[in-house]
Amino acid sequence: MELQAVLMAAGGGSRMTDLTYNTPKPMLPVGNKPLMWYPLNLLERVGFEEVIVITTREVHKMMSTDPKTKLDIKMKLDVVCIQEDGDMGTADALRHIHQKVKTDILVVSCDLITDVALHEVVDLFRAHNATVAMLMSKAHEFTETVNVPQRDFVGVDQSGKRLLFMANEADLEDGLIVRRSIIRKHPRMHIKTGLVDAHLYCLKKAVVDFLAENKSISSIRGELVPFLVRKQFSKMTSGQKRMDDTETVDQKNDGLTNDDLFFPSRDEALLQLAQERSCWNDHRGDMSEAYHGGKLRCYVHIMDQGLCYRVNTLSAYIEANRMAPKFIEEPAVHPSAVISERFQMGSDSMIGAGCHVADKTSIKRSTIGISTTVKEKVKVTNSIIMHGVTIEEGCNIQGSVICSNAVIGRGADLKYCLVGNGQRIEPEGDTYSNTKKSILLEVSVTFGLV
């Protein structure tokens, strides 16, 4: 077996608490499918047959019982439940499933919606025998790149594939320091800040073994990957030196040598022989052999075309809903929905299963969830209506998000609002825009440094 897929679906959605205080993030409906469905669909399309899903008990219950959140996935899902209140980071979760991991793994986050050709990332991992290969994407306009107080600095080499430097602004107190060893080996480095990290990683099995022994690393993105990127260029201690200072070896992570992380494949001597005789080198201009003799290599594939969203903020959620019809091959109107005749629907709207839509309604650029009732003379524009919502007659809903099981009374007029789970809006309610309960849902155009 070559790769095992691991889906991280235990995240809390801390940046969109309005939506997630009642529904766990993996189960949020995007285009009438739970958010988890998108990465699972990607894995299934590519050819995976089983996935290890790390999630909370609540999500697991919803996955198996609730018909509204059923996942139509043919793959075998091996669900591992962890405590939801525990402070478990992604690396801690990997440590938890250490026993199940038998080969190299592909870690995917549940909030990733993308149509990337996955073989691009995995080919980098295979061809260069890399320790980690990850996916990033050029940011689109709606992501709040400037507003995020802590930018991510990503340094790649000239080819744009090899990852040389990765740090978060929060960790750089004295400014961005690039070690001389890196500059000597890669004199040309491109530093980018406007990239979206897709949280998709191919990791060697040895890295998971390493995590099992080093319990201080708790997040893949925040700690493990920057650590590996730094370790690419640290000096390899020779065998004798290790013997001399075994007692004084640093107990911190940085005291580990490259040899521990380097995965010695079978018949390493033969691979070395083949590499020596090959007339290929990944860089030019100095006297070093291919890869500068380094055994630990980190690669990144940066998408410049195609869709890649991480649904971890409200604006990302709305944009994803808008793009959802592109991913789903089913018809926009579910066959079991009961729709009356005099009804206007735009081409990029979606109507879920079991809906009742009455006469003279107009639905444009919106998503209507499962088992929702829409009465007469309702106008819904640019909105997301989740499951089980009842919208009484004469309502006008614009640019809003209505969460599950809410009831919108007759004649209510909602502009740019977010209505929480199970809330009731009074009949003849006024325009609710910009009050305490609502959030401006306009798409904000921001510019990031690329």
Partner 1 sequence: MADDVTGSHVTIPHGQKSKTFKSTSEAVVVNTHTVFSVVKRLPEHIQVDDPDVLKKLAKKLERQQIPRRLDYGYKVSLFSHLLQYSRKAPLTQQLSIPSAVIHPAIVRLGLQYSQGIVAGSNARSIALLHAFKQVISDYTTPSNEELSRDLVNKLKPYISFLNQCRPLSASMGNAIKYIKKEISNIPSQFKEDDAKKKLLNCIECFIEEKIVLAAKAIAKSSIEKINDGDVILVYGCSSLVNHILCEAFEKGRKFRVIVVDSRPRLEGREALRRLVQKGISCTYVLISAVSYILPEVSKVFLGAHALLANGYVMSRVGTSQIALVAKAFNVPVLVCCETYKFCERVQTDSFVSNELDDPDDLIVTRKGETQLKDWQQVPRLGLLNLVYDVTPPDFVDLVITDLGMIPCTSVPVVLRVKNVDLL
* List of residues contacting partner 1 (CB under 8 A): 1-5, 46-49, 106, 117-119, 122-123, 126-129, 266-267, 270-271, 273-281, 284, 287
Nearer to partner 1, 279 or 445 (CB): 279
Q: Rounded to an integer, what distance in angstroms lies between the CA atom of residue 361 and that of residue 392?
A: 11
Nearer to partner 1, 103 or 444 (CB): 103
Q: Rounded to an integer, what distance in angstroms lies between the CA atom of residue 104 and that of residue 125?
A: 10
Q: Rounded to an integer, what distance in angstroms lies between the CA atom of residue 171 and that of residue 249?
A: 25
Q: Rounded to an integer, what distance in angstroms lies between the CA atom of residue 18 and that of residue 15?
A: 9
Contact 448, 431 (CB under 8 A): no
Shortest Å, Cβ 292 to partner 1: 13
Q: In terms of Cα–Cα distance, which of 74, 67, 110 is closest to 352?
A: 67
Q: Rounded to an integer, what distance in angstroms lies between the CA atom of residue 165 and that of residue 182?
A: 9
Nearer to partner 1, 42 or 136 (CB): 42
Nearer to partner 1, 128 or 295 (CB): 128
Nearer to partner 1, 126 or 356 (CB): 126
Nearer to partner 1, 38 or 142 (CB): 38
Nearer to partner 1, 104 or 392 (CB): 104
Q: Rounded to an integer, what distance in angstroms lies between the CA atom of residue 77 and that of residue 61?
A: 14
Environment class of 339 (CB within 10 Å of its CB; exposed 0-12, middle 13-18, buried 19+): middle
Shortest Å, Cβ 1 to partner 1: 6
**Tokens of residue 433, six digits:** 């825009």
Distance of alpha carbon 438 from the chain centroid: 26
Shortest Å, Cβ 431 to partner 1: 50
Q: Rounded to an integer, what distance in angstroms lies between the CA atom of residue 93 and that of residue 8?
A: 8
Q: Rounded to an integer, what distance in angstroms lies between the CA atom of residue 230 and that of residue 179?
A: 10
Question: Which amino acid would we find at residue 410?
Answer: R
Q: Rounded to an integer, what distance in angstroms lies between the CA atom of residue 30 and that of residue 36?
A: 9
Nearer to partner 1, 170 or 271 (CB): 271
Environment class of 238 (CB within 10 Å of its CB; exposed 0-12, middle 13-18, buried 19+): exposed
Environment class of 276 (CB within 10 Å of its CB; exposed 0-12, middle 13-18, buried 19+): exposed
Angle between helices 37-46 and 118-127 (to 10 degrees): 60
Shortest Å, Cβ 373 to partner 1: 42
Shortest Å, Cβ 267 to partner 1: 6
Shortest Å, Cβ 116 to partner 1: 12
**Tokens of residue 399, six digits:** 């640019």
Shortest Å, Cβ 5 to partner 1: 8
Shortest Å, Cβ 185 to partner 1: 15
Nearer to partner 1, 77 or 439 (CB): 77
Shortest Å, Cβ 220 to partner 1: 20
Shortest Å, Cβ 92 to partner 1: 25
Nearer to partner 1, 10 or 122 (CB): 122
Contact 3, 104 (CB under 8 A): yes
Calculate the dihedral angle through the C-alpha atoms of 81, 316, 176, 236, rounding to the nearest 10 degrees.
Answer: 40
**Which stretches of 106-154 are DSSP H helices?**
118-127
